Amino acid sequence: MKNAYIYQTSIGEIGIVENGTAITHLYFNRETAPQDATIKETALLKEAGRQLKDYLAGNRKSFDLLLAPDGTEFQQRVWQALQQIPCGETRSYGEIAKSIGQPKAARAVGLANNRNPILIFIPCHRVVGANGKLIGYAGGLEAKQYLLNLER
C-alpha cells in the first residue's frame, strides 16, 4: 500500500510517497503523483516532511530516511553516487560516470538522473553540465537554482 502526502514548502507544493517502510517518490507536480497512492500522512511521511522543511530552511545538510527508488541496476548505482555528492557541491555527468566505473556513460548517467523518483532526497539537482551550467531538472531549472543557492 502506497501512502502520499503533500507539503506546503518554500518552493511550492511537494508530494512525498512511501510504501510502508521507505520513501519511494518525491514530486513537485500533482499531475505526476502516483494514482494508486492513498492520501494519508503516516509517521514516515511526517518525518520526511519535517526533514524536507528543515533542509529548505537551511537547517539540514543531509537526510536520515530509508529510500527505496525503483530502477535498473545501473540507475541504482547512479542514484547511490548522487547521494555521495556533499551538500554545497556539484558534479558533472561525466564525473558521476567515472565514479561508478563507467567513464564513457555520461549520457546514460543523464538519463538515470532524469529518472530519479526521489528528488531532493537523492540530490540530482547537484549534477550540472560539464561546463558548470544547469541542465534539466524535473522541478524546473528555477527550483534547481534555488536548491543549489540554498546549499551554498
Catalytic residues: 124
What is the rounded radius of gyration, in angstroms, for the C-alpha atoms of the chain? 15
CA distance 106 to 121: 22
Element (H, E) at 18: strand 12-18
17, 26 in Cβ contact below 8 A? yes
Phi/psi of residue 25, each to 5°?
Answer: -150, 155
Element (H, E) at 6: strand 2-9
38, 1 in Cβ contact below 8 A? yes
With CA atoms as reference, report the closest residue to 110 among 87, 90, 128, 122: 128
Q: Which grid coordinates belong to 142?
A: 528555477
